[in-house]
Amino acid sequence: MEPQNQKISTWCFILGRETLLSAAELKAVFEMENIAIERMTSNKNLFVETHNKIDAVKMINQLGGTIKICEKIECGNSKLEIGNFLCSHIADGKIIFSVSGDIDNKFGLEIKKLVKNLGRSVRFVEPKNTATIIHNHLVEKGADLNILPEGVFLTRAIQPIESFGKRDFGRPGRDDLSGMLPPKLAMIMVNLARVPREAVILDPFCGSGTILTEAMLLGYGNLIGTDSSEKAIEDTKKNMAWMKQNFQFSIFNFSPYGRSPVGRKSNLNFQFYKLDATKLNEKLRPESVDCIITEPYLGKPLNGKESLEELNSQARELKNLYLSAFKQFSKILKKDGAIVFIIPRFKLRDQWVAVNCRKEIENLGFAVEKMWDQHEFLLYHRPQQFVGREIWKFIKQSSS
């Protein structure tokens, strides 16, 4: 941990669409990495005050739900003050910059005019999206500014969208018919588990292996994937091999902040079994798994024309499947082991049809760990989709 007499720095984490889920991920990472937080506030973004040094570039590659990591700078929010900052901050050459936040459309152009009047060559880049900032190298140039009520923040790191896109659409093993878990959400789920890098992680519905490959990128080396489909197991193997070939990483006891042992390579132990999630004890020893992270079977694909009766029937079938799986989880999971689990809900016009199995899961010896404040689960849902994902975290109790 950094010395407590170090100056407090203020950071803004600009969150993705599911702001609560992104904030919960950040909180989990802070706790896991022992980053001491003096103050944390959240609205559409997350603001953090800390004595600790944050390596924003390394941290952004550990997060699935954060778009930008920005540090507060000593600069007023007037156009003249920002123009003077750019001239002093970028001492030589042409100033290429962008500004975003709580400003009007002319704000950036007016700063450009002020900077030009100060005798500097300047170009304003309208930050239409993340790609615009990346392709103009504005983060590396220290020239992407965020004007917020809390102050002026300089972007220190930005989400690696090309890497996420490659991992989503470029991997060889895909099953577009049954749907695929987005890598960003898979990474969020791994972080929410909040387990040490040496933990044994199981995905009992591994599909094409998205959770396992994202866990591998985060430094986990003891991974087990099971699925009832032979194709799923083969896709997972292909994708893990592809990840090794196409991404530069090593399985280390890894911390982006230097507080965990670094450079001591973990023992790699990847296991794959064609195995139904309701029969895990046929291959896995009792209490041999530290953590389960999974998106189970979410039911048949929906087109929005299903009746309430059809959706209720599917919800009942899935409930029975999940409870059968949790009975197996209670056998192979260690005491106090964590489960990060997706439970679907189905959109029917202006209402949701839920898979209500929380009480029965608790009766099997698991407790719900709240995700954020008083939220027992957090919803991941895109407006055009008919299925929402409830992200839950359960802890195995000692009596189960």
The closest alpha carbon to 392, from 372, 374, 373, 368, belongs to 368
Is residue 234 exposed (0-12), middle (13-18) or buried (19+ Cβ within 10 Å)?
A: middle
The predicted pLDDT at position 44 comes to 86
162-396: CATH, from 3.40.640.10, 3.40.50.720, 3.40.50.150, 3.10.129.10 = 3.40.50.150
pLDDT tens digits for range 98-124: 999 989 889 999 999 999 999 999 999
Say what the pTM is: 0.93
Residues comprising the chain, all counted: 400
Decide if pLDDT at 260 tops 70.
no
Show the tokens assigned to 40: 């944390």
The predicted pLDDT at position 11 comes to 97
pLDDT tens digits for range 13-57: 999 999 999 999 999 999 988 888 888 888 889 999 999 989 999
Decide if pLDDT at 72 tops 90.
yes
Distance CA 353, CA 350 (A): 10
Higher pLDDT, 259 or 59: 59
Decide if pLDDT at 364 tops 80.
yes
Is residue 238 exposed (0-12), middle (13-18) or buried (19+ Cβ within 10 Å)?
A: middle
Show the tokens assigned to 64: 């699935």
Which residues fall within 8 angstroms of residue 328, CB to CB, at 6 or more apart? 204, 277, 278, 279, 280, 281
Phi/psi at 13 (5° precision): -105, 110
Decide if pLDDT at 5 tops 70.
no
Q: How many CB atoms lie within 10 A of CB 38?
A: 13
Phi/psi at 254 (5° precision): -110, 135
pLDDT bucket at 263, cuts 50 / 70 / 90: very low
Decide if pLDDT at 266 tops 90.
no
